[in-house]
A and B are shown apart, each in its own frame.
Chain A
Amino acid sequence: MEQLGYLLSSTVKILGLIAWIFGLLWGLGRKPLWQKLLTIVAAFAVIQALFGFKIGSFQFFSAFDQGLLFQAVTMAMVALGLNLIYGFNGQFSLAQWGFYGLGAYCSADVTYRWSNGDAGGLIVVGLGVILAGVAIGLVRMFLNRKRGVPVLSAFTFYLFGILAAVFIAVQVGKPLATACLPLFGTVDAPGPLSAPIFLQIVFPLSVIFAGAFAAEVSFLFGLPVLSLGSDYFGIATLGFSIVVQTLMVNSDTILPFPEMKGGRGMIGITKLTTWFWAFAFLIFVIMLIRNFVRSSTGRATLAVREDEIAARAMGIDVASSKLLAFVLGSFVAGIGGGIYAHYIGFLSPNTFSFIKGFDPLIIVVFGGLGSLTGTVAAAFGWIFFLEGFLRVLLGQLGTDAPSWRFVLYPITLLLLMLLRPKGLLGTTEWGFFQASIVKRKIAAPLDKGKGEGVAATPPPPSEVGKPTTGNKH
């Protein structure tokens, strides 16, 4: 009976959340700006209000469900990034989980040091990220003047450029951090920088820096590796995830970060993720990915997936197109990691083992390769159904039952691959993801010749993918 009630309430929650996502996307897809803003505010307020909502013993969002919600938000970000890399650009990447971990550790370290009265984390990471970005830009300008520089040489240039930038950041950042030290004051007499308001500013900064850090690492890693074939690339990215996890386990011995505590896990991270920040970053990521995919660069990315040779013939720089999608996807994964670290408050290398890294892959395949709507919906559904509902229910049924989850995942994946390799939703989109950025007027006579699909203004997004997909099969 108790289980039946749990089943009912879970179903209500999952359906409600999916409806909420579709409503949000629908509202974002409206034309006037004020309607979009209203939708964002309303979508934020609905969940925020439900946090404290209670009818009798039925609570819509218990503490457990709130945790699931944050998890779902981060998973949606990671999966959106992966969909950009794999679904839209066709690069089978297993490194997404590694970038997620990098983002989580980077962001957590910044706020951890800040809340312990050390501004060094923020200054060094911030300076390093910015200087490394400048270095990448300079090296790129230099390399663009010469055509046909081999990948290995380009990689060497970028590597030394970034290393120099990091070196400068550390050398400049350390004295600056020492200079900031008096501003924090002591435990008894806290200085101006110890005020909680600064932590609220440092947190979003740290998350964005974490994303940028992940993006720069992915640039350096992707530059040589993206030139490999599809399955070699898969193995190399799997290797990257393993290397990242190894470094996490050795963060206090080989790397100079004693506060990360290596394999024992990093504790004492201030739990700063609130629904406001999680939602704000989710909207940011959704807009970023959608606007990228719908831009001309994004369409070039799509063309690369369909046929590299044809894309090259159309004048698309295939290598940079792949690299851009990879970097952007990793950036998003890093942001997701930052949100996750400050929600859970504890980071363990086990969380970032490459075996768990298949979760976003399954979500992306499940939601549809090349469907952003499907990815977001699948991420929420996945977390609430499998992590929440199924885990609790199986836990109530018997002690051994939860271990069955990992037996069921691969079977699901296998069946999906055998029965529907394009994913459940295919490339179908909804609402915001469907609307085009620029309202284009298409001349009427042209429409009639082409038949359905093109006639409607604005053109449906599937139009971008359809003709090429049709040619292939």
Chain B
Amino acid sequence: MPGRNKVTKKTLSAGQRRGPPLAWVGWSFLILLAVVTVLYVGLKAVANPILFLQNLLDGLKLGFVYALIALGYTMVYGIVKLINFAHGDVFMVGAFTSYYAVSRFNLHMWPAAAFPSISPNLAVVLGSLTVILLSMAVCVILAVTIERVAYKPLRDAPRIAALITAIGVSFFLEFFGALPFVFSARFIPYKAPFSTHAWYIKDGIHPIISGQASPDNTISFSNIFLIIAAASILVQVLLQYIVKRTKIGIAMRAASYDKPTARLMGINVDRVISFTFAIGAAFAGLGGVLYAIAYSSIYTQLGVLPGLKAFVAAVLGGIGSIPGAFVGALIMGQAEAMTMGYISTPMRDAVAFSILIIVLLVKPTGLFGEPAQEKA
């Protein structure tokens, strides 16, 4: 070590610019970690490629759902610099709304009841869309109410006060929902508005007969996976269009860049913020319904962990960036699915948060993030 010291001194005196000392230690540690992870997963993948592909597919399913939630986080954080903890619970309310619409009120049956002559497939599609739209509407109303009641009075308060308020709102929704006359604290089996079909791939695509397991060494997927993927990508495209092309999108970008100036330019910042909350909540509601259909059991703390992981995904991709949230969510989904497949199911939360900490250390602005504009 003394020899090395001498070298450092010499180069400094020679006037060369060097990076911080010993930076290589941290980087080599991280690279070692990455190499070990890739090798581990790679060896497992070579040993059983079918299982690896199945994990990949499961990870994609999870990732697409996280992408739907992460959008709300990333947009709200981009504009008001607030981690909206209650977002995960808005997602939960979306799932519960669709549950009540389907199981109690049979809302998904209305096209079949009103127009008996239309084809059953069209009736199912129309009914499901109605349920999803209703959930989205309820989520939008809820989110805008939360924003008006809880967050708006604190807009000029310290950010920590707003964060604690967000946590408070989140708890309120969870435990108010757990009251016996609201949703109750039990796990509730979820009845989907349409029936799920699954297929497996082995020399072509074959349907799985319901009630039977798919044959060994095959990759299976279901229609709900396809719907989640399609919805998630569609929402991405729609949001890109809204943010880049429409007037309100330009206003959103202006408000996130500089609020006082945006106000001077005649933008109603309060309305823009409400709109941001609303659009995030709409996608969370959609995500809630799809998540409930895919995992077929709901309870009032359903939104906590997916919400947190979606936030991690948003940070991973660079908070404030919409494509970043999408990519981050897909990475999170893969990380979780691989952990579940190769390490152990409960460790997936630990892995998710370890990734967050590592990413924040290496690149605090995330993968697609822009450098921080303001000193917090």
How far does the Cβ of B29 sit from chain A's closest Cβ, in whole Å?
4
Q: Hey, which chain B residues are within 8 Å of A155, CB to CB?
A: 26, 361
Stretch of A100-108, A288-296, A414-422 that contacts chain B: A414-422
Is residue A228 within 8 Å, beta carbon to beta carbon, of the partner chain?
yes
Contact of A232 among B161, B176, B360 (CB under 8 A): B360
Query: Do B159 and A150 touch across chains, with their CB atoms under 8 A apart?
Result: no
Specify the main secondary structure of chain B where it touches its partner. helix
Contact A406 B168 (CB under 8 A): no
Q: Does B20 contact A (CB under 8 A)?
A: yes
Query: 8 Å CB contacts to B: which residues of A188-246?
Result: 224-225, 227-232, 234-236, 238-240, 242-243, 246
CB neighbours of B179 from chain A (8 A): 400, 403-404, 407
Chain A residues, Cβ within 8 Å of B158: 421
Interface residues on B, range: 35 or more
The CA of A296 and the CA of B349, in the complex, are separated in Å by 40
* Residue from A152, A230, A400, A409 in contact with B30 in the complex, judged by beta carbons closer than 8 Å: A152
| B180 interfacial contact with A, CB 8 Å | yes
Q: Give A92 to B85 CA distance when docked, in angstroms.
A: 15
A323 is an interface residue with CB less than 8 A from chain B = no
Q: Do B83 and A250 touch (CB < 8 A)?
A: no
When the two chains form their complex, are residues B357 and A239 in contact, meaning their CB atoms are under 8 A apart? yes
Contact B364–A361 (Cβ < 8 Å): no
Given contacts A235-B311, A400-B179, A403-B185, contact A243 B350 (CB under 8 A): yes
- Is B178 interfacial (CB-CB < 8 Å)? yes
Q: Is A157 an interface residue (CB 8 A)?
A: yes
B175 touches A153 (CB 8 A): no
Question: Quick check: is B153 within 8 A (CB to CB) of the other chain?
Answer: yes
Tell me how far the C-beta of B277 lies from the nearest C-beta in chain A, rounded to whole angstroms.
17
Q: Which of B20, B353, B376 is the one whose CB lies under 8 Å from A149?
A: B20
Are A153 and B23 in contact, CB atoms less than 8 angstroms apart?
Answer: yes
A156 touches B163 (CB 8 A): no
Residues of chain A within 8 A of B163, CB atoms compared: 92, 231, 234
Chain B residues 147 to 166 lying within 8 A of chain A, measured CB to CB, are 150, 153-154, 157-161, 163-165
In the complex, what's the smallest C-beta–C-beta distance from B7 to chain A, in angstroms? Answer: 13
We find that the number of chain A residues with CB closer than 8 angstroms to chain B is 54
The residue on B at minimum CB distance from A92 is B160
Of all chain B residues, which has the CB nearest A233? B360
Interface centre among A146, A230, A355, A407 (most CB of B within 10 A): A407
B350 neighbours in A (Cβ, 8 Å): 242-243, 246-247
A214 to B27, alpha carbons, bound, how many Å? 27
Q: Does A413 contact B (CB under 8 A)?
A: yes
B1-37 residues with Cβ-Cβ distance < 8 A to A are 20-27, 29-30
Asked whether A146 lies within 8 Å of B172 as measured between CB atoms, the reply is: no
Whether A407 contacts B176 by the Cβ 8 Å rule is yes
Interface 0/1 of B171-187, CB less than 8 Å to A: 11011101110000100
Q: Are A417 and B172 within 8 A (Cβ)?
A: no
Is there contact, CB below 8 Å, between B26 and A225? Answer: no
CB of B129 within 8 Å of the partner chain: no
Among candidates A228, A235, A355, A400, residue contacting B364 with C-beta atoms closer than 8 Å: A228
Q: Does B242 contact A (CB under 8 A)?
A: no
Distance of A153 Cα from B154 Cα, bound (Å): 39
Does A280 belong to the interface (CB within 8 Å)?
no
- C-alpha gap A410/B30 in the complex (Å): 40
CB distance from A92 to the nearest CB of B (A): 5
Pair B344/A250 contact, Cβ less than 8 Å: yes
Q: Is A358 on the interface with B (CB-CB < 8 A)?
A: yes
Query: Given B24, B153, B172, B361, which contacts A411 in the complex, CB threshold below 8 Å?
Result: B172
Is A383 in contact with chain B by the CB < 8 A criterion? Answer: no
Instruction: Tell me, in angstroms, the Cα distance from A254 to B348 when the chains sit together.
Output: 13
Cα of A46 to Cα of B176 in the assembled complex, Å: 42
Closest B residue to A148 using CB positions? B20
Tell me how far the C-beta of B311 lies from the nearest C-beta in chain A, rounded to whole angstroms. 7
Residues of chain B with a CB closer than 8 A to A361's CB:
164
Q: Which residue on A lies nearest to B376, using beta carbons?
A: A229
A253 in the interface (beta carbon within 8 A): yes
Complex CA–CA separation, A39 to B160 (angstroms): 39
Query: Known contacts being A149-B22, A240-B353, A243-B350, is A228 close to B164, with CB within 8 Å?
Result: no
> Smallest CB-CB separation from B171: which chain A residue?
A410
Taking a contact as CB atoms under 8 Å apart, the answer to whether B25 and A157 are in contact is: yes
Interface pair A410/B168, CB less than 8 Å apart: yes
Contact call B172/A410, Cβ cutoff below 8 A: yes
Q: Is A302 an interface residue (CB 8 A)?
A: no
- Given contacts A232-B315, A242-B353, A243-B349, whether A152 and B29 have CB atoms under 8 Å apart is yes
B341 to chain A: closest CB distance in Å? 16
Q: A6 to B83, alpha carbons, bound, how many Å?
A: 43
In the complex, which residue of chain B has the Cβ closest to the Cβ of A157?
B25
Set A90, A152, A365: member contacting B361, Cβ < 8 A: A152
A151 at interface by CB-CB < 8 Å: yes
- Distance (Å) between the CB of B231 and the closest chain A CB? 27
Measured in the bound complex, the distance between the Cα atoms of B29 and A156 in whole Å is 7
B175, A407: Cβ atoms closer than 8 Å: yes
Contacts of B311 in A (CB 8 A): 235
Q: Is the CB of A149 within 8 A of B159?
A: no
Which residues of chain A have C-beta atoms less than 8 A from B172's C-beta?
Answer: 407, 410-411, 414
Given A155-B26, A246-B346: A150 in contact with B20 (beta carbons within 8 A): yes
Can you list 19 A-B pairs with a CB-CB distance of less than 8 A? A92-B160, A146-B22, A148-B20, A150-B23, A150-B26, A152-B27, A153-B24, A157-B25, A229-B364, A230-B376, A235-B312, A236-B356, A242-B308, A243-B354, A358-B167, A361-B164, A400-B180, A418-B153, A418-B165
Lowest 8 A-B CB distances belong to which pairs? A152-B26, A239-B353, A406-B175, A153-B26, A410-B171, A410-B172, A153-B25, A410-B168
Q: Given known contacts A149-B22, A417-B154, what 9 new A-B pairs fall within 8 Å (CB)?
A: A150-B26, A153-B24, A153-B26, A234-B160, A235-B311, A411-B172, A413-B164, A413-B171, A414-B165
Please list the residues of chain A having a beta carbon within 8 angstroms of any beta carbon in chain B.
90, 92, 146-157, 159, 224-225, 227-232, 234-236, 238-240, 242-243, 246-247, 249-250, 253-254, 355, 358, 361, 365, 400, 403-404, 406-407, 409-411, 413-414, 417-418, 421
